[in-house]
Amino acid sequence: MASFLKLDSTNLIQDGYNSSWKYSFPGSAADFRDIVCAVQSISMYNSEYNIDAMQFQNTSFKVEVPTAATTSTISITLLDGIYSYDDINRSIQTALVNAGAYLIDPSGNNVFYLKLSENSVYYACQVDFSPTPTTLPTLGGTWTRPATGLYSAGGGWSDCGYISVCLSDSCQCSAI
């Protein structure tokens, strides 16, 4: 027979480590002799920010994209909070759209040459870079440029073919 036991902050042992909880069974009749107990499931919710300006200084970074005969730097700043890799990737894509640093495939989908994702095998962040085309692709039909911005008809893009992510003020990046 399964029973539900809820452990929360009221059960936390105040030892400064926040790692031990104590549950007192109601009444004094709890007898665990010859009883097998097991944990069926645990739900632990993360409530500590992983993006935090004060604690980690990790709220801003830059993406360098090829444009014309040089590169342009797009600055991205995240608010303090709890972010998944998908959340950060969406922030990057929003910044790229706002800057016009993307192309549009024949189906009308925005195409980005940078993707941030979770790599669960290595318990790590994976950053995938794709070479930026030097001319509009023709695969699958007619590709288009954004109406305004870096990759628009007036913005152009470079034949250097690389995008880089810079975590400090100076971007030291190499071509793909």
Q: Is 141 left (phi over 0), alpha (psi -120 to 50) or beta?
A: left
Domain extents for the chain? Answer: 60-166
Q: What is the pLDDT of residue 168?
A: 53
Q: What is the pLDDT of residue 101?
A: 93
User: Rounded to two decimals, what is the model's pTM?
Assistant: 0.69
CB 85 within 8 A of CB 119: no
CB 76 within 8 A of CB 62: yes
Strand 60-67 to 164-166 pairing: antiparallel
CA distances from 31 to 7, 22, 102, 129, 166 (A): 20, 16, 66, 60, 60
Q: What is the pLDDT of residue 160?
A: 47
List per-residue pLDDT tens for the chain, 176 residues long: 667 788 888 899 999 888 888 888 777 677 778 888 888 887 777 778 899 999 999 999 999 988 877 889 999 999 999 999 999 999 999 999 999 999 999 999 999 999 999 999 998 999 999 888 878 888 888 999 999 998 887 765 554 455 556 555 555 444 43
